Amino acid sequence: MIKKYKNDEILQLENEDPIALVVLKNGHLLSESKFCNYKKVFIKKGIFSEEFLFNIKTIESLRNVRNSEVELITDKKEAEEFLKNNKELLSLAIKKRIKMLVNMNDKIATDFFTKKNQRRLAEDFKTEIEVEEVKKIFKKIYKYNWHYFSDDFIQKYISARELILSEEYEEAYENLKNIDLSNIEDKYFKAEIEIWKIYCLYFMQNNNYEKMLETLHYKYDFLNELISFFILNKSIKDKKIDSNLKTYFKKGYLIPAKTVLFFEGEEGDWSFLNVSGSVYISKFLDNKEILLNILTEGEIVGEIAVIENVQRTATVFTKTPLQFIYITSDNLESLINESYLLGRNILKALIKRVDFQKKLIANTDLIDKTKVLINKYSRQRLNKFKLTPQQFLNLSGLTMDISEFITILSKNKISTIRPDGTLYFK
């Protein structure tokens, strides 16, 4: 259905049920989100109210600026098909949502630190901090035996994967053989290296791959958790891999537990879609950690790097093995063109992340906020995180006395304190 608007007519209000997927055909249309502190006029091109696809209330309001002509797609199947056939518009929508998310995060962080007379911290939060200072605080809190994305063994693994993509199997195999795993405790990463060695041998027509594959099954009981193992199996059985596996084959990697992906203050030119694992987003100020978020499967991390090269605004690290899709501003559109589902998942993740924050902020009571966090992560996963009371408070966005916090959760039979001082959710 095509509709034309004049004057300052409003198409859609923020925080309402979306009426349709809105496609701008002509004219000028204002997209505004007060919650995200976002405002932009789109000219002759764009899609809006993408929440329609995911049964989520709108994050943006839409208002005609000048002679807007839009198509309203009210059938979800038709809306999905439209996006699938218009991946350029999908890419534009993703970039719009990234900007919304970035603005929202800045707003929430500023609001958090200006509460309860924490204005100095708010100023520090906005101040660029030296990378070496961040590393110093990180090491003081988390001690040693951590890996870094720039470490030689990780970069050799990535280099080998790129060689495999170019079908240079012998060189890739040599690179994998030369990776020193003597100081690596993570069994998942060790299995990952073995899988790609076997992959290389298979395509080198070296029969040793069969014996190595048999040994691999014997050594590890978690192989079905590794995407690379599915790729190997399908390749050996000469079966076609689907678009999701193709995307991982081209730009998917496994990073060992206890790895820092990037530090605050470093130059940022890449982001990633978390496929499996948990990623911690923290600021390190005054010799303390301020946990901003924990991102899990399906969420995008470091998203601002997709639209502009900037210094990292937080430190990102994983305590568990992490499988992810490597995304840059250069490869985003090609990845979406190859896999509509990947683009859709990124769009959904961005919208859901803002929707989650809306729900979290809408609830001002500790118990209600705790329920929102439990609903997102589950009690089982929260217990695996082993969060301190202060970390949980940071996630909730509340500032209150720790003793009072512990008492409230204990009285309501929500959580107790473990001997190590972390929270256990009942």
116 pLDDT higher than 50: no
* Pair of tokens at residue 159: 């280099």
Task: State the DSSP string of 233-287.
Answer: HHHHTTPPP-HHHHHHHHHEEEE-SSEEEE-TTSEE--EEEEEES-EEEEEEETT
* Pair of tokens at residue 314: 């937080």
394 pLDDT higher than 80: yes
Helix (H, G, I), strand (E, B) or coil at 316: strand
| 2-84 and 104-146+258-362, same CATH topology | yes
Among residues 315, 361, 287, which one has the least CA distance to residue 121? 287
**How much of the chain, in percent, has pLDDT values that exceed 90?**
82
Give the pLDDT confidence score for residue 115 in this predicted structure: 59
8 A C-beta contact, residue 36 and residue 88: no
Domain residue spans of the chain = 2-84, 104-146+258-362, 152-253, 366-425
8 A C-beta contact, residue 355 and residue 56: yes
Mean pLDDT in residue range 55-71: 95
383 pLDDT higher than 80: yes
pLDDT digits (tens, 9 = 90+) for 329-342: 888 888 999 899 99
Give the pLDDT confidence score for residue 161 in this predicted structure: 98
Residue entry with tokens 């992959």: 199
117 pLDDT higher than 60: no
Torsion of CA 252, 258, 259, 265, to 10 degrees: 130
Give the pLDDT confidence score for residue 243 in this predicted structure: 80
8 A C-beta contact, residue 52 and residue 13: no
Task: Report DSSP state, residue 225.
Answer: G
8 A C-beta contact, residue 313 and residue 271: no
Q: Which CATH number fits domain 2-84: 1.25.40.10, 3.40.1790.10, 3.40.50.150, 2.60.120.10?
A: 2.60.120.10
Strand pairing report for 147-148 and 259-262: parallel
pLDDT digits (tens, 9 = 90+) for 254-278: 999 999 999 999 988 899 999 999 9
| Alpha carbon separation from 260 to 127, 159, 172, 211, 263 (Å, rounded) | 22, 19, 25, 35, 7
Residue 239 has a CB neighbour count (10 Å cut-off) of: 9
192 pLDDT higher than 90: yes
Give the pLDDT confidence score for residue 124 in this predicted structure: 52
Residue 240 C-alpha from the chain's centroid: 28
Average pLDDT, rounded, for the chain: 92
pLDDT digits (tens, 9 = 90+) for 233-260: 999 988 888 888 999 999 999 999 999 9
Q: Which CATH number fits domain 104-146+258-362: 3.40.50.720, 3.20.20.140, 3.40.50.10540, 2.60.120.10?
A: 2.60.120.10
Give the pLDDT confidence score for residue 298 in this predicted structure: 93
57 pLDDT higher than 90: yes
d(CA 424, CA 349): 28
d(CA 147, CA 261): 9
Residue entry with tokens 């924490």: 118
Helix (H, G, I), strand (E, B) or coil at 155: helix
Among 123-127, 210-214, 304-308, 392-396, which stretch is predicted with the lowest mean pLDDT?
A: 123-127
Q: Which tops the pLDDT comparison, 120 or 213?
A: 213
Give the pLDDT confidence score for residue 128 in this predicted structure: 63
Q: What are phi and psi of 301, to 5 degrees?
A: -125, 140
Mean pLDDT in residue range 9-30: 95
Give the pLDDT confidence score for residue 307 in this predicted structure: 83
* Pair of tokens at residue 85: 């056939």
Angle at 188 between CA 304 and CA 230, to 5 degrees: 85
188 pLDDT higher than 90: yes
